[in-house]
Amino acid sequence: MRRLFALFVVLCCALAATARPAAASLSELLDAAWQRDPAARALDARRDELSALTELAAGWTPGPGAVGIANRNDRPFDNRGRQEWELEYAQPVWLPGQAAARRNEAAVALRALEAERQALRLELARRLVDTRLAWLLARGQASLAERRVTVARQLADDLARQVKAGEAARFDLNLAESERLAAEAAMAEQALAAGELARRFQVLTGSPPPLTLAPAAAETPITPHPGLVAAREAAALAQARLATTRQSLRDNPEVGLRLRRERDASGAEYGDSISLRLVIPLASAPRTAAREAAAIAAVTERAVAAEQLRSQLEQDRAQAADQLATAARLEDAARTRQGLAADNLRLADTAWRLGERPLEVLLRARAAAFDADTAALRAHYTREQAEAWRDYLKGSAE
């Protein structure tokens, strides 16, 4: 019987272990956030659009042809039986160099879209990491506030019993009650902040933030930065569109094939003929100049934006290294301060219980200890945020 009970306990423990949810990875969270982000879904839709435009640019003609039919007769006038039917097919054709320019533009547009997707994915990963770290900080502060409330309640309850027994002053009880109320208010504020950050993370991913993240496989950071790649591809796309504009100074020529069947009078035999039609649109100097000027302006804007982003990334990377070093020093200092405050709290507690120090000294020591704990917690997550910022600037998302 004991063996069966032991086997049952082992089986329950195994089921509990398998039922425990595994730590989520950043890649899984990022995939979930991608499906919920409007900009990401728009990029997925644009990929289908650009694929269709690529197929169109790879065609023999710039667009579909047109079919026309016409009839001419003299019924409203002489009514001699004159009859004429025309069937025409017209097809636009490429201008010289236009097809190659369109194909190059379509290929560059696909590359630019993929670069934009990678840049957006990296930015989305940064938002997830920042929100989760902020939630962890708020959650840690709420835990410290809860511990502060527990200690304050114990002190207030002890003093209440001592006041009833005539062993403590009412003044000390009032101080303890004030500390308890302040601690409860701080706990409520921190709990509210943690809940708000948790809801913000759930809006991004559809799931609550995880306490731990599954370790990701070591990957070489992307070089250069995906945002810079996207900016450069956008500049290349603007340049490709300028080339297409310069190869499209006029509308596309049109070649038409016309079949005609006609007779001059009733009873006459129908005669058939065929004709070839070529339409060459003329160029308009003002319209051409406006199009080219707009394309040149887009090229200049994209090139300047890419160069500005490159310079900004260089400055941010240098600053991120300084921020990380400073955050590490501040965390060490905060840990040292935390140890000193804890030691002072032990000394103050002993002195108060022995009657060597008033209650105000103990409360000040407790407040200093909780402030030191909070500062150490903030310094820890400040360092982690600095590390996340450094990884983002290196181009490492997952």
Delimit the domains of the chain by residue range: 22-77+85-126+227-394
Give the whole-angstrom CA distance, residue 65 versus residue 305. Answer: 40
**In terms of Cα–Cα distance, which of 105, 47, 49 is closest to 244?**
105
For the whole model, what pTM was predicted? 0.78
Residues 8-29 pLDDT 10s: 333 333 333 333 334 578 888 8
At which residue do the structure tokens 């990957």 appear?
219
Using the predicted structure, report yes or no on whether residue 67 has a pLDDT greater than 90.
Answer: yes
Long-range contacts of 313-320 (CB under 8 A, 24+ apart): 313/225, 313/227, 313/228, 313/393, 316/393, 317/390, 317/393, 317/394, 320/386, 320/389, 320/390, 320/393
pLDDT on residue 356:
80
Rg (CA), the chain: 38
Q: Give me the phi and psi of 324, to 5 degrees please.
A: -65, -40
pLDDT on residue 282:
87
pLDDT on residue 160:
84
Using the predicted structure, report yes or no on whether residue 63 has a pLDDT greater than 80.
Answer: yes
Two tokens, residue 173: 């009880």
HSE (side-chain half, CA atoms, 13 Å) at 180: 17
pLDDT tier at 336, thresholds 50, 70, 90: very high
Residues 240-252 pLDDT 10s: 999 998 888 888 8
Q: Are 198 and 208 in contact (CB under 8 A)?
A: yes
Comparing 205 with 218, the larger pLDDT belongs to 205
pLDDT on residue 104:
92
Q: What is the mean pLDDT of residues 273-298?
A: 89
Using the predicted structure, report yes or no on whether residue 123 has a pLDDT greater than 80.
Answer: yes
Residues 251-267 pLDDT 10s: 889 999 999 988 887 77
How many angstroms from the chain centroid is the CA of residue 274? 60
Q: Which CATH superfamily is domain 22-77+85-126+227-394 in?
A: Outer membrane efflux proteins (OEP) (1.20.1600.10)
pLDDT tier at 219, thresholds 50, 70, 90: low
Cβ-proximal residues to 245 (8 Å cutoff; 6+ apart), any chain: 291, 292, 295
Using the predicted structure, report yes or no on whether residue 390 has a pLDDT greater than 90.
Answer: no
pLDDT on residue 163:
80
Give the whole-angstrom CA distance, residue 253 versus residue 218. Answer: 56
Q: Are 138 and 189 in contact (CB under 8 A)?
A: no
Residues 223-236 pLDDT 10s: 688 999 999 999 99
Comparing 319 with 75, the larger pLDDT belongs to 319
Using the predicted structure, report yes or no on whether residue 171 has a pLDDT greater than 90.
Answer: no
Using the predicted structure, report yes or no on whether residue 151 has a pLDDT greater than 50.
Answer: yes
Q: Are 32 and 207 in contact (CB under 8 A)?
A: yes
pLDDT on residue 13:
39
pLDDT tier at 44, thresholds 50, 70, 90: confident
Two tokens, residue 42: 């728009």
Using the predicted structure, report yes or no on whether residue 329 has a pLDDT greater than 90.
Answer: yes
Distances 15 to 20, 261, 279 between C-alpha atoms, Å: 9, 86, 79
Cβ-proximal residues to 329 (8 Å cutoff; 6+ apart), any chain: none
Mean pLDDT, rounded, of the chain: 84
**In terms of Cα–Cα distance, which of 135, 146, 145 is closest to 195?**
135
- The side-by-side arrangement of strands in the sheet containing 271-279 is 66-73, 83-92, 254-263, 271-279
Say which range, 207-216, 294-303, 329-338, 369-378, has the weakest mean pLDDT: 207-216
**pLDDT over 90, % of the chain:** 32
* E strand or H helix at 147: helix 98-164
pLDDT on residue 339:
92
